[in-house]
Chain A
Amino acid sequence: MNFLSPQAQEVVEKYLSLPLGNGCSTPYFNNRRKRIRGGLRALVGKGLPEEIAEEAEMFSIRERVGIKKIASADLKKFLVDHNLGIDCSGFAYHVLDAELKARGKRKISASVKPWSGFYRKIKHYLRPAENTGVSTFSNEKNSVLIDENNTIPADFVSIISPENGRNHMLVIENVSKQNGVMKFTCVHSIAYSKDGLYGTGVRREELTSADMKKKFPGILTFRRLRVFAS
């Protein structure tokens, strides 16, 4: 298998071009700074593309903005200004969920769970997407470590930075080998500093593990969900 399933690809494409007006890639939004509590998951960086589009539409109704007709760049600006977007684990959550469903496996909320704490488990039961972060995905109970050379689509790269707590994850969409070097087509939601305020978001990049190590400081591991590994 060289690619993600069509269902998962569809989710990725919707994040890359939101189903709203002229479309634009979904911006990056991490709730760590805003600390919105008890909000809609689309407003805390964990929503599906349709949910993000719906919330954007609701804002446009309240503010009387003809969001369906504005240019893609303006649409993206509108989304960023209203804190609408997706973070890396939220994006991975929905893409991998679609992949699990396509392969007839259990849904992701049952496959990737917090490993301890009664309160955490209750919170995860009610709001699974919001309570599944990079560390949850990367826990040994939810995923297994794999060798870079054995990577297949729907595996993911986890970067844990214990120093600054800025974790990240990328979903592997395709794998190829060129001149003996593994190249990974990854999809992820990211805010590089060079992107500025309005250039962040979901993107597709072809990277080697050396590129990743350069771009993302931290402990980089290639992992596979346990439910896929079994």
Chain B
Amino acid sequence: MSGFSPQQIAEVSHTIGFGLLGLIVSLALTPLVLALLYHFKIWRKNGQYDPTLGIDGRSSKAHTPIMGGLIVVLSVALITFFFNWDRQFTWVPIGGMLIAAILGAFDDIFSVIGLKRRDRSVRQTLVLARVHKNIFARIWYALSLPWTAFKGFASSFGSKKGTGVHPHEKLLLQFAAGAIAAWWIYYKLADTWKEIYIPFHGFLNIGAWIIPLIIVVVMFTANAVNISDGMDGLAGGMLIPTFIALCFLSAIFGYAPLAILNAVTAGALVTYTFFNVKPARFQMGDVGSLALGTLLAINALVINAMAILPFIAFMFYVEAFSVVIQVIGRVGFGRRIFKMAPLHHHFELKGWSEEKTIMRFWVIHLAVVLLGIWVALH
């Protein structure tokens, strides 16, 4: 048995050390962040719309802070900035994560303090463009029709429109985060990034098509993590093995800065999940779920593991596809495919307890992540 060389052991130890640092820093930040959230009353309000509240065993989440994901985002950003600031590998993942975090933070804050916003339908806009007494208003309504149609289209995929950032705005900002990642990967990194590694096959060059593909992958993954964050401990518990797998693959493929970044994220997530399991001390909020989803996608893309994402983000994608399937069933066929989407609520309505649903999702996710690591090594 050859074993690891002393240098390799030192590298592994170094990476694990950063994981532990992430855990400790996030632990130190937790009381500070919690105090801030309580001080500014960034919590779920009484009577806030929650379609799952009537499910047996569910209790009200009123007065539970909703921006707990800040603990992970801040820990990762701070540690990376001070100890792992690498122009080639960590600037853009952290940049993408922070853009998504800012978007998520606006959503979380507006959902607490914002007022209900008015949305005009395409039909209403068409009528106004025809009958408004002011000619300039009529022209404005006519010109804004495509934007109104886009809003309507985006909202059909979103949940109930509340006081936060609306789905069409989220999509645009996520597009921006994805575009930055695509620009960086395509133009700033070497030519090998224009190819996708397909396990058991080799590299596949798709040229400039990689740009829209990266944008789609980043947007979809960010939303998938966001969608999965619907139960205490669910998203956090599933993100830990995902980032550990990414850390492992980054180390094996020779991306030390990214291995450290993923280790720090996994460490911070351990702290987060400790406080997020039922009954949660805080919830991740969009600030955490969108940021971590973006980070996950970019980190996977940078180590050329796009084809592995369906494995290492398995349950997130399953949850996201359950929403897509539900929308197709509703709009296309007028039928409800699942009792409720995302999938975890379907099982809850089938009679599974919240704990059973979460733990089964964790176990299934872990199994498929292991499969993903095996596939990635071929």
Contacts and interface: CB of A to CB of B under 8 A. Distances in A.
A126 to B, nearest CB: 6
B331 to A, nearest CB: 4
A131 B130 CA distance: 30
B334 A130 contact: yes
B330 interface: yes
A54 B350 CA distance: 12
Nearest to B56: A61
A39 B326 CA distance: 12
B54 A62 contact: yes
A127 interface: yes
A55 B330 CA distance: 12
Contact of A64 (B53, B156, B333, B340): B53
A129 interface: yes
Interface of B: 51-55, 156, 330-336, 339-340, 349
Contact of A44 (B331, B334, B349): B334
A129 B53 contact: no
Contacts of A41: 334-335
A180 to B, nearest CB: 46
A64 B54 CA distance: 5
A168 interface: no
Contact of A46 (B52, B334, B336): B334
B51 to A, nearest CB: 5
Contact of B54 (A38, A51, A60, A130): A60
A46 B331 CA distance: 14
Given A38-B156, A39-B330, A61 B336 contact: no
B211 to A, nearest CB: 32
Contacts of B333: 126-127
Interface in A37-84: 38-42, 44, 46, 51, 54-55, 58, 60-65
A127 B54 contact: no
A111 B344 CA distance: 39
Given A54-B339, A58-B340, A61-B349, A40 B334 contact: yes
Contacts of B340: 58
A13 to B, nearest CB: 23
Interface string A124-151: 0011011000000000000000000000
Contacts of A44: 334
Contacts of A58: 339-340
Contact of B336 (A54, A64, A65, A126): A54
Nearest to B336: A40
B51 A61 contact: yes
Nearest to A130: B334
A12 B155 CA distance: 37
Contacts of A38: 156, 330-331
Interface residues on A, range: 20 to 34
A61 B50 CA distance: 10
A61 B55 contact: yes
B335 A40 contact: yes
A64 B330 CA distance: 23
B290 to A, nearest CB: 25
Nearest first, the 5 closest Cβ-Cβ pairs linking A and B are A41-B334, A61-B54, A64-B54, A38-B331, A62-B51
Given A38-B156, A54-B339, A61 B52 contact: yes
Given A42-B336, A58-B339, 10 more contacts: A38-B331, A39-B334, A41-B335, A51-B336, A54-B339, A61-B52, A62-B51, A62-B53, A126-B333, A129-B334
Nearest to B331: A38
Most interface-central of B53, B335, B339 (chain A CB within 10 A): B335
Interface in A130-184: 130
Nearest to B51: A62
Interface string A195-215: 000000000000000000000
Contacts of B335: 40-41, 51
16 contacts: A38-B330, A38-B331, A39-B334, A41-B334, A41-B335, A42-B336, A46-B334, A51-B335, A51-B336, A54-B339, A60-B54, A61-B51, A62-B53, A62-B54, A127-B333, A129-B334
Most interface-central of A40, A55, A61, A63 (chain B CB within 10 A): A61
Contacts of B156: 38
Nearest to B52: A61
Most interface-central of B51, B332, B336 (chain A CB within 10 A): B336
A148 B121 CA distance: 48
Contacts of A130: 334
A69 B334 CA distance: 28
Nearest to A63: B54
B124 to A, nearest CB: 13
Nearest to A58: B340
Contacts of B331: 38
B135 to A, nearest CB: 29
A130 B332 CA distance: 11
A38 B51 CA distance: 20
Nearest to A41: B334
B332 A126 contact: yes
A39 B332 CA distance: 9
A42 B334 CA distance: 8
